[in-house]
Each structure stands twice: as C-alpha cells, then as structure tokens.
Structure 1
Amino acid sequence: MKELKHYINGQWIESSDPKKLTIINPATQEVIARAPKATKVETEEAIKIAKRTFESGVWSDRSPQERAAVLLQIADKLQENIDELTELEVQNNGKTRREAQSDAEEAVGTFIYYAGLLNMPNGQAYEASSDMQTLIVKEPMGVAGLIVPWNFPLLMSVWKIAPALAAGNSILLKPAEITPMTAVKLFELMNETDLPKGAANLIMGAGSVVGQTIAESNDVDIVSFTGSTGVGRQIMQTAAGNMKKVSLELGGKSPNIIFDDTDLETAVDYSLFGIFMGSGQVCSSGSRILVQEGIYDEFVKKYVEKAKGIRVGPGNDKNAQMGAIVSEQHLESILDYIRIGKEEGATLALGGNRIEKNGLEKGFFIEPTIFTNVTSDMRIVREEIFGPVVAIQKFKDEEEAIKIANDTDFGLAGAVFSTDQNKALRVIKKVRAGITWVNAYHLTNIQAPWGGYKQSGIGRSLGTYGLDEYQETKQININLAPKPIHWFE
C-alpha cells in the first residue's frame, strides 16, 4: 500500500492532519493507498508558493520555445511510463485497460499539442493611425487553481495542466479525493523535468476544504473545475467574491437522435458506445436516445440484444468491456435512480441490478441498464445519473426531435444519426450543445474545443480555446511620433 504525499514547491510533504483518505480499487475494494487531507492553512500556503513562483518569473518569463521544450519533456516522461499510468488508472478508477490506455495516450498527445501551439504565431497588430501602432498580446493570468473529477483522473488533469503551464501560469492541482493515484505519478514525472519548482503543485483533500479555499482565495487568478453542475455552481458563487475568472465543465443529459432512415447497425453500435463506455460515468454520455417512431421497436430490439453481450468485469481482465463503478456511494446513487425509473412507470428493458456473481461480488459493478417507454418529465430523463443507464424515447418528426432534445437544463453534447446529410446537419445545428456528432458518438480530438451550453458549463478546454482560458488579453498602444497633444489649449 502506497502512502501518498502533497507536492509543494518541489517537495513531497505530509499533511498536518493525521487523518488519511483510504484509496481503494473499486473492482475489488482492496485498499491500494492512503492519501493526505490538506487543511485550509496548508492550501493557503501552497497558493502563496504558486503566486511567489509566478511573480518571480522563473517560469512565466520564459520564452514560448523554452516552455514548449519542458512540455515535450513531460510528454516523453509520460510515454516512457505509459504502462504504469495505465495500470494505476485501472486500479484506482475501475475502468477497463483499453479505456485507461487510451486516456494515457491522449495525455501524451495533449502535452505535445500545446508544446506545438506555443510555436505558432500569437497576438495581433493594428495601425490605429499613421502615428499609432496597437499590439494585442497574450499574457499568463497568474495562479491557476485546477480541480479535476474522478472519472478521468489523469486525462482531465492533463487537459488543464498542459494549457495552464503552456500559458506561463503557476498551478495548483486538486485531484478528486478518491482517485489521486495517476495525479501523484504525473507530478513524480514532472519533477524529473526542467519545470521550475513551485510552478506546479499538487494538494489532496476534501473539496469542501481545498476546493473552497482555492475558489475564495484572492491569490488565485482562475479556478478551472470539471465535475457536477451543483458543485460548479458553488464554486462560481464563491469565486464571485473577488471576481476571479471561472472555467467550468459540468454535467450533461445528452440527446442521441436516431432517424428512421439511419443505418441501423451503425446507430445501434455508436449508441451503445455513447452510454456504456466508461460505465456511463462520462459527462458527455448519450444517456437519452431519441428514436423515430417508424424504427423504434426494431431499434430497441437490436439495442437490447447487443447490450446483453457487453462483458462486465475488472479493468485488468482483458475480456472486460465495461468496468466498475468508481465507489460504493456512487453505485448506490445509480441504483437509486434505477428504482426511481421503475417507480415512475418506465419499462426496464434490460439490467437494473448490481452484479454479485462470477467473481464480481466484492466490486462495484452494475448491469448495462436500458429503460424504454419514457417521458420527458421523468427524473431518469431529466437528471444526470452518471452511470450505465440509458432512456430510449420515441419521437414523430424533426420538429419534435429537436424539441425533446433541447428540453433539458444541460447542453454539453448531442448526436444525430441519418443517411440524409442535409437533414442531419439541419437538425444538429438546432441542438443546443457544445459537442456534437453526425453518425458518430464520443469521437473527438485535442484540436477541437470542449465545453457546453446552459448549465453544462462556462468556457472551453482544448484547442486554441483551451490556451485562451489561461491567458489575459492586453492591448499596447505605441506612439510612433511622440509630441504634445495640446488637448487643453
């Protein structure tokens, strides 16, 4: 069992609080580590160190090329240790090895992408008049407080760390309490590079202490949070006290619209991937499938049959296609929603139970679960379950599909399946969501912005937009022919 420590100013330190967080493998409930719980005082001290490092210019004043070189060093370290990072993610999060390895590979690519972006032209220049030149430049914000979720512990950390460091900020990362393992390993690897001490800091503990302190601190210039809409709302309210910038990537209840002219095999396949990848613990999951009435029964039949074949098991089982739920608390929350769905009158077409056989008794496993005959007023249709539970709803035509799709507080993702490309584009443009697909689901790339509409968040990750999140924009006006203006004469 590993004893984890905070990483502050280039040093691994214990917490003053003797109480530890127990870290388990959700597939077996085996204790794999103990993590420290930072106090408010320790968090404030870590923030001060990050601010002092930023103001010293040891990282923020480095040229883009110098910062890019360090990001590439980090990418190399991740690549060299990709097997260990994958194994840690499997053990700590419960996801399958295939998913964990994909996350680790994308983490490498994210550092490489932002290193390359730093070598691209940046800024603008204008001639305001014959004697005035205006420059638009980008500058680092200062201290970036980064708060990441438990569903993609490594990848979400990197999605925030890479652009924040690329921009020249100093950072303070708070991983989720229950999944800190890959974050700790990431900082071990960053410690082996030329990244200055104090430019990147890691502190573990409760969100109510560490996250709250980051959000309210006058010394933190931006807080970037990925997680539930409820917690995001609290962070936004707390950060409003000093008007710091807030970047939020929050929940979703995303519609997946299937028209009757679709390629049914493709639609079924991607719709399974859209909800059961990551055991449904993905903010952009297609948890609402809307099927046109002409193929509704056929789609449901094929979908249920395919879902029956999904192999559920521990992530280190090479045959497993869907892994464990991250914690017992979250497992109980999902089971509660399944109970609510049945009480609301939805038809349970498949699953709905915890799996406690075939060697999975000790882990947190749930069957792939499908509800049919649902209506838009049901809680299982309106609220984010964040598990392997999907609701299949019927619609008549384009107009009704769009109305049902947008009848939600969220706006993170959505998809349309149709062989009529004109119709597909027409409908997807009407879907109020930030990440969308036509005849696909979950396929994205680092170069494209990630984020949502409505209560799914504020701001964007990845691409050039991700770098912009961690930069201030400044105009510099240069008088090329200085002489008295004689304004008051």
Structure 2
Amino acid sequence: MQTWTATHQRMWIGGQWVDSVTGETVTVINPANGEVVGDVPKAGRKETAQAVDAAHQAFPAWSGLTAAERGAYLKKWAEEIRRNRESLARLLTMEQGKPLSEALEEVDAAADFSEWYGEEAKRVAGEALPGSKRDQRILVIRQPLGVAALITPWNYPATMVTRKMAAALAAGCTVVLKPASQTPLTAAFLMQLLEKTGLPTGVANLVTGNASEIGQALLDDPKVRKISFTGSTEVGKQLIEASARQVKRLSLELGGNAPLIVFSDADVDRAVAAAVGNKFENCGQMCNGINVIYVHEHLLDDFLQKLVERVGQLRVGFGWEPGTEIGPVIDESGIRKIDELVRDAVEKGAEILTGGRRLLEGPLARGTFYAPTVLAGVSFDMRITQEEIFGPVAPVVSFSDEEEIVKRVNDTPYGLAAYFFTKDIRRAFTVAEGLEFGMVAVNGTSLSVPQAPFGGIKESGQGREGGRYGMEEFLNIKYLSINL
C-alpha cells in the first residue's frame, strides 16, 4: 500500500520562498485515488508583478554573463535533476498519475534538455555581411529578449519546464514560470534543484495559483517581452489577441489531431507496436499523441487483431505499483470528454473491440481510470475523428485510396504531428512533404528529443521548442551598420 505525506510548497520569487499575500492555497489531488498530494500558494496579480520585477532587475547581470557561464548553471541543474531522479519521479507520479516507469523517463528527458541547452548556449552566433559601400561593415548579432513568461501544462510537468526554461536561460533571458494548477509540485521541486546550482537572485521565478489572473498580469506588464505557452488552442487564440496590445513575442504549442497512416506495404507488427507505444503513453494524454489510426483495407483485419491483443494486455493501475502501464486520466472533465466521444462514435456505428468504459471496480473506483479502448468501423462523421481525444482510445479508420487519405488527414485546422508507415522510399518522402503538419515521423512514433524543433502549424501553434530553434525564440536579431 502506497503511503504519502501531503506537503506544502512555496513560490520562488526574487530568491525567496514565499506564500501568497492572502495565505490562500491550491490543493493538488492525486487522480489515481482522490487523495491530497499537497498544496501551493494561490497567487494573483500582486505576486506576479513581484516576480516580473525580480526577473527584470536580474536581467542586465544575467544577460551580461558569458554563454559558458550561463551554460554551467544549466549543466549543474541537469546533474541535480539526475541526482534526485527517483524522488522527483515519485512526486510526478503522485500528482499527475502516470506510471513510475514513464515518470522516470520524463525526469531523464528533463535533465537532458537542461544539459543540452547548457551546451548550446555557447553556439549562439551572428553574421558578418558584405557592405554596400567600400567603407561599410554589416554585422548581425543576437541578443536576449528580456523577461520571458513560461506557462507549462499538466501532462508533462517536468520536461515542459526544462524544455522552455533551459532554452530561455541559455539565451540570456530571465524567467517567470507558471505551472499548471494540477501539477505544480513537480515544478516547485525543479526550482528547488535549480536554486542548489547557485543561480543568481531573480533570474528564475515561480508563481502558482489563479491561471487567468496570473496570465492577465503577465500580458499587461510591458516588462514581459515574451510568453511561451503550451495548452489548448482556445486559450492560445486568446493570448494572441491579448498580446497584440504590446506586440509581445509568443511561442504557442496548442491542440492537435495527429494521424497515424498505415499504408498497404507497411510492416504491421512494427506499426502496431509503435501505435500502442504512442497512443497509450501517459494514458493517451499527449499533445503529439496519435488521435486516429488510418489503416489500408488490405491490412485492416491483421492490424486490428494484433492491436486488440496488445491493448487488451495493457495493465491499468496505480502508477507506483510495479508493472503498471496505464494510469488515470487527469480529472473528471477529461473522463467525461472521453466518454462523450466514445458514445458518439458507437451511436454512429463504431464497434468497441476492447475497453470502452470507465473502470469503477475495486480500488480503481477512487480514481479517474478509463479502460484502454480500440474502436473499429470509425468514420469521418464521428466527433472522435475531428476532436482531440486526450485519452486511452484508439479509433481505427479503414481506407483504400492512398492519395485521398492524405487529403483527408490534412483537412483539419490542426497541424502538430503526423505519423505513417511504409517500406516505399519514394512514398516516404512524398507523403512526409505533403502532410500539413509541423512534425512528421516515418516508420516510428517518437518525436521529442533535445536537438530537434518541436511544434506545429495552423491552429496547433507557432514557434518551436527544442534544438537551436527553441533558443532562437528567446533572441532578438539586431543589424549593425558600421561606416569606417
């Protein structure tokens, strides 16, 4: 039986650990059993302004350090994360619900992002261009934007912090971090580890609490020159509108509708294994997770048989129990959305091959668990093909015309990630180039690595995270014309 002592974590503002001015808190609930994991301060505009002021005051000295000096702090942060790997992963599992094995992988990835940007900080470069006159010299340099506000989601509460923050700090920006209210404890732990590196006062700040009030304060403050947000498309659109008043720089990673296409020449075993690995990671709660699987009719029966067999063997349970592969959905609203989409599909002719229900038996009844599900006979008039599921449900659509299916999957306002399987090298290139998505994986379903740009097009967002592209999001380009 897992035991857990609820903890209170404070905010980190201007090098001090503080509570909210009102003393109010936000309670963090374990989605697996409904128990209290801990709480954090419920801050608002005043605390946010203090954090922004601290970051603004710290900016000149921080941006004045050499890239190697800034990078050294990030590499130390990575070391601290790895040193506290098990404790951080256990906390992540308790507040977010994912299996401990996945939490450990996420913590490792979080450390990798910090280490990578610690090294990449030294590679920010400019250019010397030919002048238009004999005595003219043209230089192009890159400089940090200033104060950056980072708003992170609940589904990957460790990697999303370091992927954003390490890039911003490496570029020379100072930051204010606002984590999701469902999973702020992981962010607080990460900030404690960052404090251990000796990071100068005010360079990084953490505020928790009222999302709308904190977000509005960040938008209103002219000292905040950049906002990086991961979340829903609806909120992203609101940020775009509100940011126009000050023309703030934005990076947005928003909703998705990721297809997996299995072409007629695909390796079925390989495709099924990769589909399960992606679709059911983090209980299907992944922004670049597969939403719908499109299988050529010649492979459909074989694919479905093997998919149902694998999915039926997935072990659902508490994340801290050995062997658990599927944890809970984050909350009741997530469960309701999943159930609505499945019921709509069934009413319109889809068939449940496995799963298709909330799990209410035994100890799982205390949490928000949904059975891993496979739906066959899915068609394009069903909501489940048009809306982001964000749950452990794999709808399968049969197709025959390969050109038509590419047109179909492109016919969406979203464009984050897409996946397909084929053995034909010509098709690999033509389809990858023809898919209207910011990221495409061929014969695989894994995309997030420190060195590559992660992000979408259309209503899935703007800007990139990861790689040198992620750090460029926090840099201004300045043109210098020097006449001798």
TM-score interval (norm. to shorter): over 0.9
Which residue of the partner structure matches residue 29 of structure 1? Answer: 34
Equivalents in 2 of 1:7, 1:336: separation in Å?
40
Q: Please, which of 438, 443, 454 is the counterpart of residue 442 of structure 2? A: 438
Alignment equivalent of 2:51, drawn from 46, 52, 73: 46
Which amino acid in the other structure matches residue 193 of structure 2?
A: L
Output aligned runs, 1:373-388, within 5 Å.
373-388=377-392
SS in 2 for 1:106: helix
Q: Which residue of 1 aligns with 2:212?
A: 208
Amino acid at match of 1:294: H
Task: Find the aligned partners of 2:255 and 2:38 in 1 and give their Cα distance.
Answer: 29
**Residue pair 1:398, 1:427 contacting (<8 A) in 2 also:** no
Give the letter for the 1:170 counterpart: T
Letter in 2 for 1:67: R
For 1:329-348, list aligned pairs within 5 A. 329-348=333-352
Quote the offset at 1:458 in angstroms: 0.4
- Partner amino acid for 2:450? I
C-alpha separation between the residues in 2 aligned to 1:344 and 1:201?
50
In angstroms, what is the RMSD of aligned CA positions?
Answer: 1.3
Q: What residue is the counterpart of 1:67 in the other structure?
A: 70
> Are the counterparts in 2 of residues 139 and 473 from structure 1 also a CA contact under 8 Å?
yes
| Distance of 1:159 and 1:306 partners within structure 2 | 32
Aligned equivalents of 1:6 and 1:337: distance in 2?
A: 38
User: How many Å separate the matches in 1 of 2:27 and 2:341?
Assistant: 27
String of CA shifts for 1:231-279, please: whole Å, max 9, x gaps.
1111111111111011100111111000121111101111111211111
Give the one of 72, 86, 90 matched to 1:87: 90
Misfit runs of 4+, over 3 Å? none
* Equivalent residues in 2 for 1:226-237, closer than 5 Å: 226-237=230-241
1:111 maps to which of 107, 111, 114: 114
1:112-138 Cα distance to aligned partner (Å, 9 max, x none): 111111223611111314311111111
Do structure 1's residue 19 and structure 2's residue 24 form an aligned pair? yes
How far apart are the structure 2 equivalents of 1:258 and 1:39?
48
Residue deviations 1:193-238, cap 9 Å, x none?
1311101000001221112221232221000000111111111111
Distance 1:205 1:344 in 2: 41
Alignment-derived partner of residue 13 in structure 2: 8
Secondary structure of 1:241's aligned partner: coil
Larger displacement relative to structure 2 (8-17 or 212-221)? 212-221
User: How many Å apart are 1:18 and its aligned residue?
Assistant: 3.2
Q: Counterpart of 2:67 in structure 1: which amino acid?
A: P
- Cα separation, 2, equivalents of 1:96 and 1:430: 36
2:143 & 2:372 partners in 1: Cα distance? 47
For residues 117-266 of structure 1, the aligned pairs below 5 Å read 117-120=120-123, 122-128=125-131, 129-266=133-270
SS of aligned partner of 2:91: helix
TM-score by length of 2: 0.96
* Residue 475 (1) aligns with residue 483 (2): no
Q: Which residue of 1 aligns with 2:3?
A: none
Shift of 1:340: 2.4
Once residues 297 and 454 of structure 1 are traced to their aligned partners in structure 2, the CA distance between those partners, rounded to angstroms, is: 34
**8 A Cα contact 2:40 2:185, kept in partner:** no
- Equivalent of 1:321 in 312, 320, 325: 325
* Partner-residue secondary structure (3-state), 2:158: helix
CA contact (8 A) 1:226 1:249 kept: yes
Q: How does 1:237-316 map to 2 (within 5 A)?
A: 237-316=241-320
Unaligned runs of 5+ in 2: 1-5
Deviation at residue 358 of structure 1 after TM alignment? 4.6
Distance 1:43 1:413, change over 3 A: same
Q: Cα deviations across residues 400-420 of structure 1 (Å, max 9, x unaligned)?
A: 120121121111111111122
Counterpart AA for 2:418:
G
Tell me the equivalent position of 1:411: 415
* 3-state SS of paired residue (2:250): strand
Output the TM-score relative to the length of structure 1.
Answer: 0.95
CA contact (8 A) 1:87 1:97 kept: yes
Alpha-carbon distance in 1 for matches of 2:200, 2:375: 52
In 2, the alpha carbon distance for the partners of 1:74 and 1:60 equals 18
Q: Does the 8 Å contact 1:415/1:436 carry over to 2?
A: yes
Distance of 2:325 and 2:339 partners within structure 1: 20
Q: One-letter code of the match for 1:304? A: V
- Take 1:346 and 1:210, find their aligned partners in 2: how far apart are those partners? 43
Deviations 1:55-100 (A, max 9, x none): xx22111111111111111111111111111111111110111111
1:132 and 1:479 in contact (8 A); partners too? yes
Counterpart Cα distance in 2 of 1:209 and 1:120: 37
Q: Distance in 2 between matches of 1:377 and 1:409?
A: 16
Is contact 1:223-1:246 (8 Å) kept?
yes
DSSP-derived class of the 1:300 partner: helix
Q: Is the 8 A contact 1:17 1:39 kept in 2?
A: no
- Offset at residue 296 of structure 1 (A): 1.5
CA distance in structure 2 between the partners assigned to 1:121 and 1:251 by the alignment: 30
Q: Is 1:359 aligned to 2:338, yes or no?
A: no
8 Å contact from structure 2 (residues 13, 50) kept in 1: no
Letter in 1 for 2:360: E
What residue ranges of structure 1 are gaps of 5+ in the alignment? 481-489
- Residues of 1 paired with 2:83 and 2:166: CA distance? 18
Give the superposition deviation at 1:476.
1.1
Partner of 1:86, secondary structure, is helix
User: 1:259-308, CA deviations, whole angstroms, 9 ceiling, x for partnerless residues?
Assistant: 12111110111111121111110011111111111112221222112111
Distance 1:289 1:121 in 2: 40
